[in-house]
Amino acid sequence: MYSYALLERNCYYLIQEKEESPIELVKINFETDYCVHVSKFVESPVLEWRKKTDNIFEILELLDDDKVKEWQTAQKDSEGTYNYEEDEE
């Protein structure tokens, strides 16, 4: 079993916190002696504190800089997309 203590500051990871949970993109913003401050990227960024000892089921991948840039570009492109429902008359 992995923990948040293994994740490096300013790096992006794809993780699975529990065996059946969805894959999440996280970034470690900074750390203290006992905790890390994490950005989770779901529908919108979520900031939270986690104990370094909190379990992670699997660390799938450390994203390299090129992959992070691709993801950021995709995020910016999708921000201008709206889901309109047409009125039925």
The predicted pLDDT at position 48 comes to: 95
The predicted pLDDT at position 80 comes to: 61
The predicted pLDDT at position 43 comes to: 77
The predicted pLDDT at position 42 comes to: 82
Domain boundaries, the chain: 2-79
The predicted pLDDT at position 81 comes to: 56
Helix (H, G, I), strand (E, B) or coil at 7: coil
pLDDT averaged over 10-residue windows placed end to end, the chain, 89 residues: 94 95 94 96 89 96 92 79 51
Please, are residues 7 and 26 in contact by the beta-carbon 8 Å criterion?
Answer: yes
Kindly report the length of the chain: 89
Six-digit token pair at 77? 């492109």
Please, are residues 48 and 27 in contact by the beta-carbon 8 Å criterion?
Answer: no
The predicted pLDDT at position 85 comes to: 53
Q: pTM for the full model? A: 0.80
